[in-house]
Chain A
Amino acid sequence: MSAFYGRWRLRSQLLALACLMLGAAVGPLSSGCHPSASVPLTEPHPLPRRSQLPLITVLAPEAAPVVPLVATLRSELASDFDLEVIAVRHETSVSDVGAALAKQKPSAVVLVDNSAVQLYRPLARAALHPLPSVIVMSSFVDRLQASVPNSLAIAFETPAVTTLSDVRSILARPITRAGVVYREGFESFVARERALLLKEKIELVALEVPADPSVASLGRVLRRMEREHLDAMWLSNDNVLLSQKLLSNTWVPFAKKTALPIVVGVPALVQGSVPFGTYAAVPDTVGLGVQTADLIYTLQKSGWRAEGPAVQPPVAVKTYLNVTLARELGAPPENEKRVDVLLEGGR
């Protein structure tokens, strides 16, 4: 239980992501980061409701990272569906959402962020015939999706196989052994990533730290990692492992010492006063919008019943490369064309 709730300490995955991304300008995980103010998700000049078309309702916090997702969904669904947004705010209650859905009568609901799922879940559980829903941009989707009847989900963590095969190609380095540090309680997550990596002939060397790791316990594991003859380090998006204290006292000193490419899941760690990661890959929110739209069409085709694989991994990623660090590792500059965002700065 502690692992479940402790991984993201912020209430909202999206707020955490916004915080990490905004931190890019000022350094890694600066303390006191305040996510952007609310961003409206409704259209400035909404078209009138087309009564002959089914309605899709999006339940989402008004946060900047959600804007491209909603815009993409709107354009991808425009010919066959109308789309309405219910904004999730701090004061939004379950009954507010229930009343809005009763009024709108959508065919399906898109739940963006854990906060939207928390508000919608009691309604779905209480309903005799719960509306179909698609969960996106949320953490712990496996457990989350299982708790919402008639739902599908898209995970919000880029699989290591996507990241490490891409970084191997961009850096033009052989990567056959990659290291990862994980907290006690995340064994099944690591096992899944390890199995996927074997397809690319990459062995995952996974070392465990306690659920609430200290500077000393993480430091010990990183010293062990140094003796593992690795080709790369992969860091999952675990806010507990990436706390300010652990970053400053263990990860950054490790990064300064090592000659390994470090692959992370947040751009803020690739740029800043002390760039830590060499490469970052995050789910592309436009790609997530397309993937979500395709799931809506799948639901429609199946009579609005959630069938097939309950949780899909994200397919499209947005990539960030620290070119200073990459070139130090011998990456050919021509490979930079295969990266979305180029950043600079040495360790």
Chain B
Amino acid sequence: MPRLFAFIPAIERPRAVGELLSEGLPGVAVTAFGRFADFSAAVASEKPEGALSLADTLHVLGVSVGLQGVAGGSATEPYVLLSKDPNQTVDSLAKQSIGMVDVVGRAELPLLLKRLLGLAQPPQVRRVLKVSDLLPLLHLDLAPAVTLPERFQSEFEKQSRLELRALRPATAHVGRSALGFPTGRPDRTIANALRRAPASVQSLLGTEAWQ
């Protein structure tokens, strides 16, 4: 059975991500990771047949995208910047600390956020491991704003009574989930399983189809 290592930032916990993927991708041995560094080390040392993550994550690992997830005809998805202070702008927030899930490692994350927010300089980043860790950053005044995929915004806001202002810079798009083959050889079983994945898996990955 081909091995698929997955690192998917989600509202769900890594345990549930692993269960959803295992149920939705029959014939594939799924291992879900909750931290970029663990995923990165495992992909490098164990060379699984498939690696499933954001396209930017695969790029940092030096794994080419073999199959790209798309939704609404787009291979990228919009992100949103949620700020506690309604008077702050993207530029003023960038001079402070912005919370984001670490999907590319400590060194690369400020560069990703710079691109995402269309900034001239990399901002200060307050990195977290999970989407659910973003809310404590706001509660505990560790960051005045956080950024996350727009599809999580409604669920995120439901979890809090904080009044958050959403900012949507035109540049705020990040590549959707993608599949790479760390061995260098495409694995047809994994690719076909993803193409036929049920709605629960596509929803988890923020995709509708694969190309």
Q: Which A residues lie at the B interface, using CB under 8 A?
A: 72, 75-76, 79, 159, 161-162, 165-166, 168-169, 196, 199-201, 284, 286-287, 290, 293-294, 297, 312-313, 315-317, 319, 336-341
List residues of chain A with CB within 8 A of the CB of B59. none
Output the nearest chain B residue to A341 by Cβ-Cβ distance: B15
Helix, strand, loop or mixed for chain A's interface? helix
> Are A287 and B133 interface neighbours, CB within 8 A?
yes
Q: How far is the CA of A129 from the CA of B139 in the complex (A)?
A: 35
| B176 in contact (CB, < 8 A) | no
List residues of chain B with CB within 8 A of the CB of A196. 139-140
> Are A337 and B12 interface neighbours, CB within 8 A?
yes
Q: Which B residues lie at the A interface, using CB under 8 A?
A: 11-16, 20, 34-35, 37-38, 41, 102, 106-107, 127-130, 132-133, 135-137, 139-140, 142, 158-162
Interchain residue pairs with CB less than 8 A apart (23): A75-B38, A161-B136, A165-B139, A166-B132, A168-B159, A200-B160, A286-B129, A287-B133, A290-B127, A312-B140, A312-B142, A313-B136, A315-B128, A315-B137, A315-B140, A316-B128, A317-B136, A319-B13, A337-B12, A337-B16, A337-B20, A338-B11, A338-B12
Q: How far is the CA of A287 from the CA of B37 in the complex (A)?
A: 12
Asked if A287 meets B139 with Cβ closer than 8 Å, knowing A76-B106, A169-B158, A340-B13, the reply is no
List residues of chain A with CB within 8 A of the CB of B132. 166, 338
Partner of A200, one of B13, B106, B162: B162
Asked if A169 meets B12 with Cβ closer than 8 Å, knowing A159-B140, A161-B139, A338-B132, the reply is no
Q: How far is the CA of A76 from the CA of B35 in the complex (A)?
A: 11
List residues of chain A with CB within 8 A of the CB of B16. 336-338
Q: How far is the CA of A293 from the CA of B158 in the complex (A)?
A: 31
Closest 3 CB pairs of A and B: A337-B16, A169-B159, A337-B12
Asked if A165 meets B159 with Cβ closer than 8 Å, knowing A200-B139, A315-B133, A338-B132, the reply is yes
Q: How far is the CA of A73 from the CA of B18 in the complex (A)?
A: 25
List residues of chain B with CB within 8 A of the CB of A340. 13-15
Scoring B129, B130, B136 by chain A CB atoms within 10 A of each residue's CB, the highest score goes to B136
List residues of chain A with CB within 8 A of the CB of B20. 337
Partner of A315, one of B15, B34, B37, B136: B136
